[in-house]
Amino acid sequence: MDASRPLSALTTLYRRAPATCATLFSLAVSYLMTVARQDYLLWRSLGPGGFLPSSFMGWLAHTLMRPLAMPTASASDPDYLPPDDTAFKGPLADLPKRKGKRPSTFGLVPHRQIEGEQNEALTADIVKHLESLSHRQNFTLALSSLEASSSPALFVTEDGTAAAKASLSRLYLSGLPGPRRTIDGRPIVEGSADKHEFCHVHHHDGSLHIVLSPQDARVAVKQGWAELHRLAGLLYRGHWFPPQFLPKMLLAPFGGPSAARWSYLAAANGEQKQKMLPPTYLIVYAPRDKDETEQVKRIIDASVAWATGR
């Protein structure tokens, strides 16, 4: 087909009905600008977070990143998660179903829950729980290095134990950053290459970003407590192959979507390094009452257990 034919047809159409073409073009531009403005305002309303500035250029970079993200439906699909870590017994098998529908989320950088009311008391309870966990060996509480804000975060120190080496956690956490600021905001100057952030809480609503074992992540997603960050596993092969537009039925001969996409990780060893967010990087929805807060604490405890491979 001659590539010039569509352009020639448009030129002919414009010559025959210039006013109509100009009107349609103006309407299309107006619609796109309205949609872009609404998207920009929504993105700005998320507040600071991540490595992008809260500016027009930050929004533009965020928009250009969207083709790299997994489909929205995959974020809440348990089948998208990797196969179980056989070296770890997931403690969340009996996690109850979360009541009600999932809250809406938006954004990639930052990534936020955008439904639900803030409950400062519940958020403070979660932060206090993180503080208590930080007193354990190999854990540090500091400000998040993944968030450009005052989010408290837990970091784990690689200790080289046999349990840690036997678990996929060491591989998954290897691409996550170490602490850069103490919990009171002072710069950390000593090296932190052996420390990795695996959990942080958002002060504005009590939601969390967290890394879980594949089996616990699957339960948390299936039971409605969490969903994947849409950039989870971005620099892992499984994020790109098989292509995400393929229907699940085509992947059934290969063990289903989970095995087809992620089974290669089973051969990885504890000395290998990855980059950026692992494939089980989740947002855990903000708790709405004390009972939900206790379940969120269980999810945090499961993350802590897996971070040490125990």
- Tell me the average pLDDT across 64-77: 94
pTM for the structure as a whole: 0.89
Region of poorest pLDDT, from 69-83, 150-164, 227-241, 247-261: 150-164
CA atoms within 13 A on the CB side of 271: 0
- Can you tell me the distance from the alpha carbon of 153 to that of 151, in angstroms, rounded to the nearest whole number? 6
Task: Give the pLDDT score at 204.
Answer: 86
Checking if the pLDDT of 185 tops 90, the result is no
- Tell me the average pLDDT across 129-144: 94
Share of the chain above pLDDT 90, in %: 60
Two structure tokens written together for 14: 């414009």
Name the DSSP letter for residue 281.
E
Element (H, E) at 14: helix 4-16
- Can you tell me the distance from the alpha carbon of 91 to that of 301, in angstroms, rounded to the nearest whole number? 9
Two structure tokens written together for 162: 């046999």
303 touches 210 (CB < 8 A): yes
Query: Maximum Cα–Cα distance for the chain, whole Å?
Result: 77
- Tell me the average pLDDT across 60-73: 94
290 touches 206 (CB < 8 A): no
Task: Give the pLDDT score at 4.
Answer: 65
51 touches 111 (CB < 8 A): no
pLDDT digits (tens, 9 = 90+) for 241-291: 999 889 889 999 888 999 999 988 877 755 667 778 999 999 999 999 999
- Can you tell me the distance from the alpha carbon of 185 to that of 171, in angstroms, rounded to the nearest whole number? 29
